[in-house]
Amino acid sequence: DADVTQTPRNRITKTGKRIMLECSQTKGHDRMYWYRQDPGLGLQLIYYSFDVKDINKGEISDGYSVSRQAQAKFSLSLESAIPNQTALYFCATSDLFSRQGSTFGSGTRLTVV
Protein backbone atom coordinates (compact mmCIF):
# COMPACT_ATOMS: atom_id res chain seq x y z
CA ASP A 1 0.00 0.00 0.00
CA ALA A 2 1.90 3.10 -1.21
CA ASP A 3 -0.80 5.62 -0.23
CA VAL A 4 1.34 7.01 2.57
CA THR A 5 5.09 6.84 1.97
CA GLN A 6 7.75 7.49 4.57
CA THR A 7 11.45 7.98 3.95
CA PRO A 8 13.84 6.75 5.11
CA ARG A 9 12.64 3.35 6.38
CA ASN A 10 15.59 3.00 8.71
CA ARG A 11 18.13 5.52 9.92
CA ILE A 12 21.00 5.49 12.35
CA THR A 13 22.30 8.88 13.38
CA LYS A 14 24.64 10.33 15.95
CA THR A 15 23.72 12.39 18.97
CA GLY A 16 23.50 16.07 18.11
CA LYS A 17 22.85 15.60 14.42
CA ARG A 18 19.89 17.15 12.64
CA ILE A 19 17.67 14.68 10.88
CA MET A 20 14.53 14.97 8.80
CA LEU A 21 11.91 12.30 8.27
CA GLU A 22 9.66 12.76 5.28
CA CYS A 23 6.12 11.73 4.55
CA SER A 24 4.11 12.03 1.36
CA GLN A 25 0.59 10.83 0.58
CA THR A 26 -1.52 10.21 -2.47
CA LYS A 27 -4.83 9.83 -0.65
CA GLY A 28 -5.81 13.48 -1.05
CA HIS A 29 -6.34 13.81 2.69
CA ASP A 30 -6.16 17.19 4.33
CA ARG A 31 -4.95 15.98 7.68
CA MET A 32 -1.51 14.61 8.46
CA TYR A 33 0.04 13.39 11.70
CA TRP A 34 3.36 12.30 13.12
CA TYR A 35 3.37 9.64 15.85
CA ARG A 36 6.11 8.07 17.87
CA GLN A 37 5.85 4.46 19.00
CA ASP A 38 7.81 3.02 21.92
CA PRO A 39 7.19 -0.47 23.33
CA GLY A 40 4.35 -0.43 25.85
CA LEU A 41 3.50 3.23 25.27
CA GLY A 42 1.32 2.93 22.23
CA LEU A 43 1.19 5.73 19.69
CA GLN A 44 2.08 9.17 20.98
CA LEU A 45 1.18 12.17 18.85
CA ILE A 46 4.07 14.54 18.12
CA TYR A 47 2.51 17.07 15.75
CA TYR A 48 -0.49 17.26 13.49
CA SER A 49 -1.66 19.46 10.65
CA PHE A 50 -5.21 19.95 9.44
CA ASP A 51 -4.16 21.84 6.31
CA VAL A 52 -1.11 23.51 4.80
CA LYS A 53 -1.30 26.58 7.05
CA ASP A 54 -2.22 24.74 10.20
CA ILE A 55 0.29 23.12 12.60
CA ASN A 56 -0.59 21.85 16.07
CA LYS A 57 1.51 20.39 18.85
CA GLY A 58 0.66 16.93 20.09
CA GLU A 59 1.49 15.23 23.38
CA ILE A 60 5.28 15.05 22.94
CA SER A 61 6.41 17.91 20.66
CA ASP A 62 9.51 18.98 22.62
CA GLY A 63 12.67 18.34 20.59
CA TYR A 64 10.75 18.05 17.32
CA SER A 65 9.58 20.42 14.62
CA VAL A 66 7.48 19.92 11.49
CA SER A 67 6.88 21.48 8.11
CA ARG A 68 3.81 21.06 5.91
CA GLN A 69 5.29 21.86 2.53
CA ALA A 70 2.16 20.97 0.57
CA GLN A 71 -1.11 19.17 1.13
CA ALA A 72 0.65 15.91 0.32
CA LYS A 73 3.90 16.42 2.25
CA PHE A 74 4.59 16.63 5.95
CA SER A 75 8.12 16.36 7.33
CA LEU A 76 9.36 15.85 10.87
CA SER A 77 12.72 17.23 12.03
CA LEU A 78 14.87 16.47 15.01
CA GLU A 79 17.07 19.54 15.33
CA SER A 80 19.60 17.90 17.62
CA ALA A 81 18.95 14.20 18.00
CA ILE A 82 19.36 12.53 21.38
CA PRO A 83 19.38 8.81 22.25
CA ASN A 84 15.95 8.83 23.90
CA GLN A 85 14.46 9.82 20.55
CA THR A 86 15.29 6.33 19.35
CA ALA A 87 11.90 4.97 18.35
CA LEU A 88 9.62 3.95 15.52
CA TYR A 89 8.00 6.95 13.85
CA PHE A 90 4.77 6.81 11.89
CA CYS A 91 3.17 9.34 9.62
CA ALA A 92 -0.59 9.10 9.18
CA THR A 93 -3.31 10.86 7.21
CA SER A 94 -7.05 11.25 7.51
CA ASP A 95 -9.84 13.11 5.83
CA LEU A 96 -11.99 15.70 7.53
CA PHE A 97 -13.55 14.27 10.69
CA SER A 98 -11.54 11.05 10.18
CA ARG A 99 -14.57 9.46 8.56
CA GLN A 100 -12.53 6.44 7.56
CA GLY A 101 -9.98 6.44 10.31
CA SER A 102 -6.33 7.18 9.74
CA THR A 103 -4.03 5.56 7.18
CA PHE A 104 -0.52 4.95 8.42
CA GLY A 105 2.77 4.93 6.57
CA SER A 106 5.18 2.02 6.88
CA GLY A 107 7.17 3.73 9.58
CA THR A 108 10.73 4.97 10.05
CA ARG A 109 12.90 3.18 12.57
CA LEU A 110 15.27 5.79 13.98
CA THR A 111 18.26 4.95 16.13
CA VAL A 112 20.27 7.71 17.78
CA VAL A 113 23.69 6.59 19.01
Partner 1 sequence: GENVEQHPSTLSVQEGDSAVIKCTYSDSASNYFPWYKQELGKRPQLIIDIRSNVGEKKDQRIAVTLNKTAKHFSLHITETQPEDSAVYFCAASGNRGSTLGRLYFGRGTQLTVWP
The residue ranges that bind partner 1 (CB under 8 A) are 31, 33, 40-43, 45, 48, 50, 56, 90, 94, 96-107
Direct distance between the N- and C-terminal alpha carbons of the chain, in angstroms, rounded to an integer: 31
User: Which CB sits closer to partner 1, 68 or 79?
Assistant: 68
User: Which CB sits closer to partner 1, 15 or 62?
Assistant: 62
- Give the Å distances, CA to CA, from 75 to 21, 31, 40, 97: 6, 13, 25, 22
Residue 84 Cβ, how far from partner 1 at the closest point, in Å?
18
77 forms bridges with which residues in the sheet? 20, 65
